[in-house]
């Protein structure tokens, strides 16, 4: 019964992938037809091409970037910014989250400031960071950190609060000191919450990097888009968007792999093997 349902799922999943591809193809075909004077009037085609670019030109631009290797330098910069922002933002969020969750006085003191800083639209800090850290990689990392920090911070805070009191008491009865409690109970519990928000925080680090580049940089995919926009080169803008999207999807897949590795201890539903 369950096995047959699983097989059914696998069939539909294969079919779903086919539908996904067909849908994407259809979008490109419609896009192509609307921007070429085959079915529509020349004037209409020209207008849509101005606003949306031409799919074949967009794909050609993407192809050029990879074929000439020109894109790698920019991708690498964006990736470095994303990873640095993610790493430092997570470490900072973990440290501050643990500290505030375990120290009621500090938490009471910091509470209104944390709330205010979280409520603030932090993207607005990008120009300030540009002034402070220049147009290099640092200002983008700083922006990413402010975005990642709060996600991790709130998850760590929650994770510490949600530690089962029985598990905690058990560790204490087994003789855990304060540092050992932190290492064996609080951090693992907090990390499980952090990992469950991994997708969001990596996404946010990426947003920080791209927005930072877009607001002023000399390298990075966001910079490429900004440059093309300045020249009204809509095709290159769309090519940049395509590359960014593919990149984000790849990043997300990598996170999923990492997540499955790190959370083996967590119960998942239906871990049965079909015969």
C-beta of 112 vs 267, nearer to other proteins: 267
Contact 97, 155 (CB under 8 A): yes
Residue 83, exposed/middle/buried by CB under 10 A (0-12, 13-18, 19+)?
A: middle
Residue 259 within binding range of other proteins, rule CB under 8 A: no
Does residue 176 interact with other proteins by CB under 8 A?
Answer: yes
Handedness of CA 57, 59, 62, 66 (dihedral sign): negative
- For residue 269, state whether it binds other proteins (rule: CB under 8 A): no
Which of residues 5, 32, 115, 266 is near other proteins by CB under 8 A? 266
Structure-block tokens of residue 134: 């220049």
CA pair distance 249, 203, nearest whole angstrom: 10
Q: How far is CA 13 from the centre of its chain?
A: 25
Name the residue among 107, 262, 104, 102 with its Cα closest to residue 182. Answer: 102
Scan residues 54-83 and list those touching other proteins (CB under 8 A): none
Applying CB under 8 A, does 115 fall inside the site for other proteins? no
# of chain residues touching other proteins (CB under 8 A): 21
The yes or no reply on residue 180 touching other proteins (CB under 8 A) is yes
Distance CA 167, CA 179 (A): 16
Q: Report how many helices (DSSP H) and strands (DSSP E) the chain contains, helices first.
A: 13, 0
* 158: contact with other proteins by CB under 8 A: no
Question: Is the separation of the CB atoms in 148 and 93 below 8 Å?
Answer: yes
State which of positions 89-108 bind other proteins (CB under 8 A).
none
Binding flag, residue 167, other proteins (CB under 8 A): yes
Is 96:160 a contact under the CB 8 Å cutoff? no
170 binds other proteins (CB under 8 A): yes
**Choice between 180 and 245, CB closer to other proteins:** 180
Report the residue from 48, 192, 196, 227 that binds other proteins according to the rule CB under 8 A: 192
Alpha-carbon distance of 82 to 124, in angstroms, equals 18
Residue 162 interacts with other proteins (CB under 8 A): yes or no: no
Contact region with other proteins (CB under 8 A), list: 92-100, 147-155, 187-195, 210-218: 187-195
- Which residue from 173, 231, 257, 275 is in contact with other proteins, where contact means CB under 8 A? 173
Which residues here bind other proteins, judged by CB under 8 A? 166-167, 169-177, 180, 184-185, 188-189, 192, 264-267
């Amino acid at each position: 019964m369950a096995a047959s349902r699983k097989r059914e799922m696998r069939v539909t999943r294969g079919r779903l992938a086919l539908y996904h591809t067909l849908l994407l193809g259809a979008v490109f075909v419609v896009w192509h037809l609307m921007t070429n004077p085959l079915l529509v009037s020349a004037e209409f085609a020209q207008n849509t091409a101005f606003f949306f670019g031409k799919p074949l030109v967009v794909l050609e631009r993407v192809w050029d970037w990879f074929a000439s290797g020109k894109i790698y330098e920019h991708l690498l910069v964006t990736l470095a910014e994303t990873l640095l922002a993610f790493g430092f933002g997570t470490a900072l969020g973990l440290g501050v989250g643990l500290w505030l969750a375990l120290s009621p006085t500090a938490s009471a003191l910091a509470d209104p400031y944390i709330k205010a800083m979280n409520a603030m639209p932090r993207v607005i800090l990008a120009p300030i960071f540009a002034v402070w850290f220049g147009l290099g990689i640092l200002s983008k990392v700083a922006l990413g950190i402010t975005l990642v920090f709060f996600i991790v911070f709130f998850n760590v805070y929650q994770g510490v609060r949600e530690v089962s009191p029985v598990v905690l008491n058990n560790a204490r009865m087994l003789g855990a000191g304060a540092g050992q409690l932190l290492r064996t109970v609080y951090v693992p519990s907090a990390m499980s919450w952090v990992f469950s928000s991994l997708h969001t925080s990596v996404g946010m680090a990426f947003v920080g990097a791209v927005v930072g580049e877009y607001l002023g940089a000399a390298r990075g995919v966001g910079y490429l888009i900004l440059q093309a926009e300045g020249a009204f080169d809509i095709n290159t803008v769309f090519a940049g968007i395509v590359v960014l999207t593919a990149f984000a999807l790849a990043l997300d897949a990598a996170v999923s792999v990492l997540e499955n590795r790190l959370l083996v201890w967590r119960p998942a539903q239906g871990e049965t093997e079909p015969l």
